[in-house]
Structure 1
Amino acid sequence: MSNQMPLKSNTPMLWVIRVVSVLIPLVVALLLYIDRFYTLEVGFDTKVLPHLNAFLNSGTALMLITGFVFIKNKNIQLHRLCMMTAFVLSSFFLISYVLYHATQPSTPFGGEGLIRYFYFFILLTHIVLAAVVVPLVLLAIYYAFSNQIEKHKKMVKWTFPVWTYVAITGVLVYLMISPYYV
């Protein structure tokens, strides 16, 4: 008998993953568009959040790489701990990112010359892959928790490098734009 859940019981969770995977990028895009016209007041200065976001992205990258080392050494428990910590850090990042962009105007990049092209290349690939990684991460976690290990392994071959790239480039974007924060 297989350890995998029957397809019928997968359907509701897969629908949740689809909906969340569409809603998150839409909310982020909407916030970036709306900040031209309106900013939310939350009762505290949110200008510290980009610094927190860089810390959260750094922690996510560290947990992803550490979790990769643990699974290569067949330490499943520590691998799971690292992956779930990466997921929690990324979730806090997303909340903080949305809160910051709902309360602060976007910061324009002030660099000139070749660094400007490099910045926008990193930023564009980061943004596109950040949207792509949402369903990948959710599916990878779902397959792991539903004991669909072969599907999990296939999924993480794509998820791990994309998620790691997004976490690292998030820090790079922060480091490059931080001199321009007001």
Structure 2
Amino acid sequence: MSTVRRPQFAREHPRAFAALLTVVGYVVVIGTLYGDLGIYPEISESTVDLLAHAISVVNAATIVCLVLGIRWIKRGEIEKHRAAMLAAFGLILLFLVMYLLKTGGGGRKEIIAGAPLRSLYLGSLGIHIFLSVLAVPFVLYAITLGLTHTPAELRQTAHATVGRVAVTAWLVSLVLGLLAYGMLTFYYGPEQIEFVRGIA
């Protein structure tokens, strides 16, 4: 039995704790995208590009961690599964910091109307964003359960079911995000891209 003292509220009320974290996360992101928080340093377009590349690397690494986590839990290697999922969660927090800095302090790039395959790009980006938003409460709930319960206790919770939903939405979102990044970076030329500074 673990000797680590777990936060009692998170352990006894994991849904409420995950919901609270979800709301806080949504407020921070929405405030960055649509509010004028004034907390981000202004960055150049080249730094925005650099952060976009770094984000793609982080997202690719997250995919690797999630796939390994799935593989290990299917083999019953619980500690490896736990390590992979915590690594994926840590990477997504790193992504969030870079994304907020890139968007809040810099801007974003958009494909101009009439560009080829623009519908594919926008569709991939839209589904990516939708699944990202959808995955947040499931990921936080699964992580909360995993951090506050022993493996034996987890079998009596919804951890496995919620985890499957979380990982599915998360993985598809990440893959589509990388597809959109790849199109924006390698398919479209500078004349087809518009840099928009500031909030969404």
TM class by shorter-chain length?
0.7 to 0.9
Partner of 1:76: 78
Once the two structures are TM-superposed, the CA of residue 33 in structure 1 deviates from its matched residue by 2.8
- Relative to structure 1, the CA distance from residue 111 to residue 126 in structure 2 (aligned partners, 3 Å threshold; closer, same or farther) is same
Once the two structures are TM-superposed, the CA of residue 10 in structure 1 deviates from its matched residue by 1.9
Residue from 145, 149, 169 that aligns with 2:176: 169
**Pairing 1:107-118 to 2, within 5 Å after superposition:** 107-110=109-112, 112=114, 115-118=117-120
The share of aligned pairs that are identical, in percent, is 25
Once the two structures are TM-superposed, the CA of residue 34 in structure 1 deviates from its matched residue by 4.4
Residue from 56, 59, 62 that aligns with 2:61: 59
> Does the Cα contact within 8 Å between 2:22 and 2:137 map onto a contact in 1?
yes
Letter of the aligned partner of 2:165 in structure 1? W
Partner of 1:20: 21
Once the two structures are TM-superposed, the CA of residue 152 in structure 1 deviates from its matched residue by 0.6
Letter of the aligned partner of 1:53 in structure 2? I
Point out where structure 2 has 5 or more consecutive residues left out of the alignment: 1-6, 196-200
Number of matched pairs? 176
- Relative to structure 1, the CA distance from residue 17 to residue 117 in structure 2 (aligned partners, 3 Å threshold; closer, same or farther) is same
Partner of 2:4: none
Once the two structures are TM-superposed, the CA of residue 171 in structure 1 deviates from its matched residue by 1.3
Partner of 2:164: 157
Once the two structures are TM-superposed, the CA of residue 104 in structure 1 deviates from its matched residue by 1.1
With structure 2 as the length reference, what TM-score do the two structures score? 0.76
Distance 2:90 2:8 in 1: 28
Distance 2:62 2:92 in 1: 6
Once the two structures are TM-superposed, the CA of residue 134 in structure 1 deviates from its matched residue by 1.0
> Does the Cα contact within 8 Å between 2:11 and 2:145 map onto a contact in 1?
no
- Is the strand fraction higher in 1 or 2? 2
Point out where structure 1 has 5 or more consecutive residues left out of the alignment: none
Letter of the aligned partner of 2:163 in structure 1? V
Partner of 2:3: none
**Pairing 1:31-180 to 2, within 5 Å after superposition:** 31-34=32-35, 40-41=40-41, 46-47=47-48, 48-110=50-112, 112=114, 115-147=117-149, 148-149=154-155, 150-178=157-185, 179=188, 180=193
With structure 1 as the length reference, what TM-score do the two structures score? 0.82
Letter of the aligned partner of 2:81 in structure 1? H
Aligned to 2:161, the other structure's residue is in SS state: helix
- Relative to structure 1, the CA distance from residue 28 to residue 8 in structure 2 (aligned partners, 3 Å threshold; closer, same or farther) is closer
Aligned to 2:108, the other structure's residue is in SS state: coil
> Does the Cα contact within 8 Å between 1:126 and 1:165 map onto a contact in 2?
yes
Aligned to 1:41, the other structure's residue is in SS state: coil
- Relative to structure 1, the CA distance from residue 114 to residue 144 in structure 2 (aligned partners, 3 Å threshold; closer, same or farther) is same
Once the two structures are TM-superposed, the CA of residue 109 in structure 1 deviates from its matched residue by 1.6
Once the two structures are TM-superposed, the CA of residue 42 in structure 1 deviates from its matched residue by 5.4
Once the two structures are TM-superposed, the CA of residue 128 in structure 1 deviates from its matched residue by 1.2
Q: Considering only aligned residues, what root-mean-square deviation do their CA atoms show, in Å?
A: 2.9
